[in-house]
Amino acid sequence: MSVHGGGGAGAALEVVRAGALTTVQDGGRPGYAHLGVPRSGALDAGAYALANRLLGNPAGAAALETTLDGVALRATAPVTVAVTGAACPVRVAGRPAAWGAPVRVPAGALLDVGRAAGGVRAYVAVRGGVAVPEVLGSRSTDLLSGLGPALLSAGTLLPVGPAVPDPVPAVEPCPLPGPPSELVLPLRLGPRADWFTGASLAGMWRAVFRVSALSNRIGLRTEAGSALVRARPGELPSEGMVLGAVQVPPDGLPVVFLADHPVTGGYPVVGVVPPGPALDAAAQARPGVAVRFVRAR
């Protein structure tokens, strides 16, 4: 059954509870690395895209990305929302509501997106999109450069864009995702794999690392596992970095660059994790989760 409605004239979402870290994200701002501007954008690209599809939004419509403990929002006018990503309880005006499906929020009602039962980041999309001003063609908050809207705080008013007049498309309910018990990352070696010993590289395929609590939107840091050993001394001059680059600092423990990564770096990059489901899973991996690298096919 289709659900009508979206952002009407003057519709907005007022932040009542901001959560640990809630940001506005869209598809990011690619094409500005030469100016020192990271791409940014939603960390779990698949979950973000699904939230917009559920509402019939354009693919690049801005949504909210929460971290661990969700967010609470009050609608100033009737809106339709969808929550995806990390499985979490959803309530509207105190009553349980669907996760992974379009949900109607009446004017004045409180939408409460609760603590993640598994995973890290949930995506809260609204029909019409979150219509904060664009910066360099994107509404994304970039934690590294500071571009885009500020981190959400109580009292922030988020305007909602006008929805297309078509009804929200009928969709099948989304299955609840299971929390990743092990993060398996396909790795294409290079460009600086020759900076590490052959034995160290061979050991990397057998090693089991763990997600560090120091991980964030800039990069997934690892701990434990077998540290990679340099085959040569010295440092590299800074060179360009891409999404998924696996940089190895002096402690030998790999760091996987995520959406807010710097555009240059001086530590050797042992390889690159291609964009796709594996990097999406990295956005949902909690501290302590096992990490293994496998050869990319």
Distance of CA 289 to the CA centre of its chain: 17
pLDDT in tens, 207-235: 999 999 999 999 999 998 889 999 998 88
Q: Which two tokens stand for residue 70?
A: 């969700």
DSSP 8-state symbol, 209: E
Q: What is the pTM of this model?
A: 0.94
Q: Which two tokens stand for residue 38?
A: 């990271």
Q: Is 203 helix (H, G, I), strand (E, B) or coil?
A: helix
pLDDT in tens, 42-86: 999 999 999 999 999 999 999 999 999 999 999 999 999 999 999
By C-alpha distance, which of 179, 182, 185, 181 is closest to 257?
A: 185
User: What pLDDT, on the 0 to 100 scale, is given for residue 191?
Assistant: 95
Q: Is 48 helix (H, G, I), strand (E, B) or coil?
A: helix
Average pLDDT over residues 261-288: 95
By C-alpha distance, which of 44, 83, 61, 82 is closest to 130?
A: 61
Distance of CA 208 to the CA centre of its chain: 24
Q: How far apart are CA 63 and CA 131, in angstroms?
A: 9
Looking at the chain, the domain(s) classified CATH 2.40.100.10 span: 182-295
Superfamily of structural domain 182-295: Cyclophilin-like (2.40.100.10)
User: What pLDDT, on the 0 to 100 scale, is given for residue 174?
Assistant: 73
pLDDT top residue among 86 and 7: 86
User: What pLDDT, on the 0 to 100 scale, is given for residue 7?
Assistant: 57
User: What pLDDT, on the 0 to 100 scale, is given for residue 165?
Assistant: 75
